[in-house]
């Protein structure tokens, strides 16, 4: 059981750690080129939350089923699962489509030789950054529920 706890904790840290850096990495970009670079970097780093975040959920569910933690209706487990669902809705339903559109617009502007991002691209960039921030804050709630469990 200790190896499963180790996998769970490490996967949570490796999965969510980089995600906390996304809003910071997506600082104000001075040029079109800088913005495109930041978006590509964040896009590459998103594999960590996808891979390790999934492993954290699976290992967490296994820990719950194999352990003696009581009923599903406890605030810490039910709250964690509900917040996780909200994070997934935020990421899959809003963040990923906005980031995909941002990538397309950046490519279109690069093709015409834009030096500065358009106001539409800048606004979308800010929206993607804020969605990352929201997902990160909700992930902190998950960490708090996991740490404060009985």
pLDDT in tens, 110-130: 899 888 899 999 999 999 999
Residue corresponding to tokens 């997902």:
135
Domain count, the chain: 1
Residue 59 confidence class, pLDDT cut points 50, 70, 90 = very high
Least confident of 36-40, 45-49, 68-72, 117-121: 68-72
Which candidate, 48, 132, 125, places its Cα nearest to that of 95? 132
**pLDDT averaged over every residue in the chain:** 91
- What residues make up the domain containing 133? 2-147
Three-state secondary structure call for residue 117: coil
pTM of the model: 0.89
pLDDT at 73 over 90: no
């Amino acid at each position: 059981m200790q190896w499963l706890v180790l996998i769970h904790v490490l996967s949570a840290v490796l999965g969510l750690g980089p995600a906390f850096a996304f809003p910071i990495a997506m600082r104000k970009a001075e040029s079109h080129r800088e913005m495109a670079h930041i978006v590509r970097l964040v896009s590459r780093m998103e594999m960590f939350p996808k891979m390790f975040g999934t492993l954290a959920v699976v290992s967490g569910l296994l820990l719950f089923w194999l352990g003696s933690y009581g009923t599903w209706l406890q605030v810490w487990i039910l709250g964690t699962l509900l917040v996780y669902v909200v994070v997934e809705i935020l990421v899959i339903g809003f963040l990923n489509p906005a980031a995909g559109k941002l990538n397309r617009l950046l490519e279109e502007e690069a093709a015409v030789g834009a030096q500065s991002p358009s106001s539409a691209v800048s606004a979308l960039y800010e929206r993607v950054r804020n969605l990352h921030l929201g997902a990160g804050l909700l992930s902190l709630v998950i960490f708090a529920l996991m740490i404060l469990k009985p």
